[in-house]
Amino acid sequence: MTIKTIPTTPIDGQKPGTSGLRKKTQVFMQTPYLENFIQATIDAIGGGAGKRLVVGGDGRYFNRAAIQTILKMAAGNGVAEVIVGQGGILSTPAASNLIRENKTDGGFILSASHNPGGIDEDFGVKFNAANGGPAPEKLTARMYEATTTITEYRIAEAGDIDLGRIGETTLDDMRIRVVDPVESYQALMQRLFDFDAIRSLFAGGFTMCFDAMHAVTGPYATAILEGALGAPTGTVVNGTPLEDFGKGHPDPNPIWAKPLMDLMMGADAPDLGAASDGDGDRNMIVGRGAYVTPSDSLAILAANAHLAPAYAGGLAGIARSMPTSAAADRVAAKLGIAAYETPTGWKFFGNLLDAGKVTICGEESAGTGSDHVREKDGLWAVLLWLNILAARKQSVAEIVTRHWQEFGRDYYSRYDYEDVATDQATRLMDGLRDRLDGLAARRFADLTVAGADEFSYLDPVDGSFSEGQGLRIAFEGGGRAVFRLSGTGTQGATLRLYLEQYSGTDGRTDLDPQEALAPVREAAQEISDMSAIIGRTEPDVVT
Ligand code: G1P
Ligand code: ZN
């Protein structure tokens, strides 16, 4: 077999964001865009010789073609073995698990997460390290550096590999193992949770709707919920992964999972509604008539995790991203364990999990997970909820209400301003940053500023320092507003405004969230001068 060394030149804009490199699919399809990034990543990990890797993706358009290219490039770079999901399918948490179980040197995951898929939509590549987690900042910096100095890439000249059949094959000297994408992930879930108790729950008539949103979790949810746990056929809807996700937006939140929300708020609502995103790492939880915010879900899962076998011994600590509400901190305080606040992006949890400092982590953007893998895990969150529901024998709404009664409620909402002109977004952030010091004790709308700063993070495990992680303004009386620019958008800038208001333990917990957040929202919009700078205060998406 011939290995070709093909000359290439650097391509602009190949800097990985919070979750790998994400661009329009057609950009990735243009040789050598994908090739440059794969070669740069292989170079950044010290070359492919003798390495073992996992490869798979969420099944979106271009998934299979990209995998063929990656396999040939892996062979061209002397990689010893690649483990691939059958049909090119692997959810992000399942890929993380395969990297860990097989002790590989890492893996490529092909996905643009919750962004739409298709030839005119988005594609993405992430590299996960040997611990199974997203490449840490040091590695993404090396990857980016390598994209700016690249001169050639190596690729084996060969026909396509058959990914449809489970088993082993070779490409030049490289071994390729095509594996069932679900099997070892399902075995892991079976070790973590009380499947017998959940099976009895379903046998007793408990009803559920899991919306896989035509994305990767379909086969996982069908095998686990309807197969192993005996939920009735039809519990999983939209369960076949489609290349364009049925033209939907596979993002599990009340906006994009509206049909599920409508079902759950209607007269025929089942006991539990859940959804996951394109690559299976995000989750949405909704009870009959009761949507659970991701920040609350993290806190409730942490407070009740001991009801599941894997966490019966207690938690080491809890971590949340900075914009996530403080609800989880209150649980940590009650349990007498450490609470960590990290920058946005799952990669910051990796060191804390590896060092055994935390067991459970989560983000306001519908990501929750634990030390069982090094990614957030949508189905894991759903199964932990099921385990808790089976043990407590209460409804979702009851569990949530009791949690608020005990800890107080952290009213929460995120406003997204999409496709903002980059210079306007920068002007808003720069202007606010310059004024932060002078904000303390000043009054805006009806609120007094308690303090304001720009969040930075000193990693307690490896001492790395991350700056510029969001501007935060705390108000007297338990309110907070955070401004941050998204790192995952593919068009213009996305400005995120995160709003939070704590009720206290004796305050009302039954208000409409938008009403409870109105003072913080008005103060935040005034402080940032949003309407003058970006010309609007109405967000595109409210979650
Ligand atoms: C978004 C979320 C963040 C998450 C990331 C990857 O990033 O806000 O919590 O880790 O997607 O799923 P952002 O676009 O805000 O940079
Ligand atoms: Zn995702």
Whether the CB-CB separation of 255 and 240 falls below 8 Å is answered with no
Q: How far is CA 502 from CA 285, 398, 407, 499, in A?
A: 21, 20, 10, 10
Segment 244-267 mean pLDDT: 94
CATH class of the 2-181 domain in this structure: alpha beta
pLDDT higher than 80, residue 364 = yes
Nearest-CA residue for ligand 1 atom 10 is 345
Whether the CB-CB separation of 440 and 451 falls below 8 Å is answered with yes
Q: Model confidence over 499-536: pLDDT tens digits?
A: 999 999 999 999 999 999 999 999 999 999 999 999 99
Pocket test for ligand 1, best of 126, 284, 344 (most atoms within 8 A of CB): 344
Segment 241-258 mean pLDDT: 93
Task: Report how far ligand 1's centroid is from the alpha carbon of 362 (Å).
Answer: 12
Q: Do domains 2-181 and 185-407 have the same CATH topology?
A: yes
pLDDT at 19: 76
pLDDT higher than 80, residue 233 = yes
Alpha helices in 77-125 (DSSP H): 92-101
Show the tokens assigned to 141.
């910096």
Query: In percent, how much of the chain has pLDDT > 90?
Result: 95
pLDDT higher than 90, residue 372 = yes
Which atom in ligand 1 lies closest to the alpha carbon of residue 487? 16
Nearest-CA residue for ligand 1 atom 11 is 488
Segment 48-77 mean pLDDT: 98
Task: Report how far ligand 1's centroid is from the alpha carbon of 22 (Å).
Answer: 12
Segment 1-8 mean pLDDT: 93
- pLDDT category, 472, cuts 50, 70, 90? very high
Q: What is the rounded distance in angstroms from the CA atom of residue 52 to the CA atom of residue 80?
A: 6
Segment 246-266 mean pLDDT: 94
Q: What is the rounded distance in angstroms from the CA atom of residue 445 to the CA atom of residue 442?
A: 10
Task: Report how far ligand 1's centroid is from the alpha carbon of 62 (Å).
Answer: 23
Q: What is the rounded distance in angstroms from the CA atom of residue 43 to the CA atom of residue 153?
A: 10
Which atom in ligand 1 lies closest to the alpha carbon of residue 282? 12
Task: Report how far ligand 1's centroid is from the alpha carbon of 61 (Å).
Answer: 22
Segment 110-130 mean pLDDT: 95
pLDDT at 280: 97
pLDDT at 539: 96
Taking CB atoms and a 6 Å cutoff, what residues make up the pocket around ligand 1? 18-19, 113, 321, 344-346, 363, 365, 367, 486-488, 496
Which atom in ligand 1 lies closest to the alpha carbon of residue 321? 9
Task: Report how far ligand 1's centroid is from the alpha carbon of 429 (Å).
Answer: 18
Residues 6+ apart with CB under 8 A from 369: 93, 281, 346, 349, 360, 361, 362, 375, 376, 377, 380, 381
Tell which residue, 71, 26, 36, has the closest CA to residue 53. 71
For the domain made up of 410-542, give the CATH fold. TATA-Binding Protein (3.30.310)
pLDDT at 96: 98
pLDDT at 234: 97
Could you tell me which residue, 227 or 20, shows the higher pLDDT?
227
Ligand nearest to the CA of 278: 2
Contacts 24+ apart (CB under 8 A), 232-236: 232/202, 232/207, 235/207, 235/208, 235/209, 235/210, 236/210, 236/212
Ligand nearest to the CA of 281: 2
Catalytic (active site) residue 113: yes
Q: Model confidence over 82-96: pLDDT tens digits?
A: 999 999 999 999 999
Nearest-CA residue for ligand 1 atom 2 is 365
Phi-psi region of 238 (alpha: psi -120 to 50; beta: other; left: phi over 0): left
In the chain, the amino acid numbered 348 is: F
pLDDT higher than 80, residue 491 = no
Query: In percent, how much of the chain has pLDDT > 70?
Result: 100
Residues 6+ apart with CB under 8 A from 187: none
Q: Tell me the CATH number for domain 185-407.
A: 3.40.120.10
Catalytic-role residue among 19, 96, 111, 113: 113
Nearest-CA residue for ligand 1 atom 4 is 345
Locus of tokens 């109105």: 518
pLDDT higher than 90, residue 445 = no
pLDDT higher than 80, residue 475 = yes
Q: What is the rounded distance in angstroms from the CA atom of residue 20 to the CA atom of residue 15?
A: 8
pLDDT higher than 80, residue 1 = no
Residue 125: helix, strand or coil by DSSP?
strand
Task: Report how far ligand 1's centroid is from the alpha carbon of 365 (Å).
Answer: 7
- pLDDT category, 492, cuts 50, 70, 90? confident
pLDDT at 18: 75
pLDDT at 141: 94
Which atom in ligand 1 lies closest to the alpha carbon of residue 19? 6
Listed by start position, the domains of the chain span 2-181, 185-407, 410-542
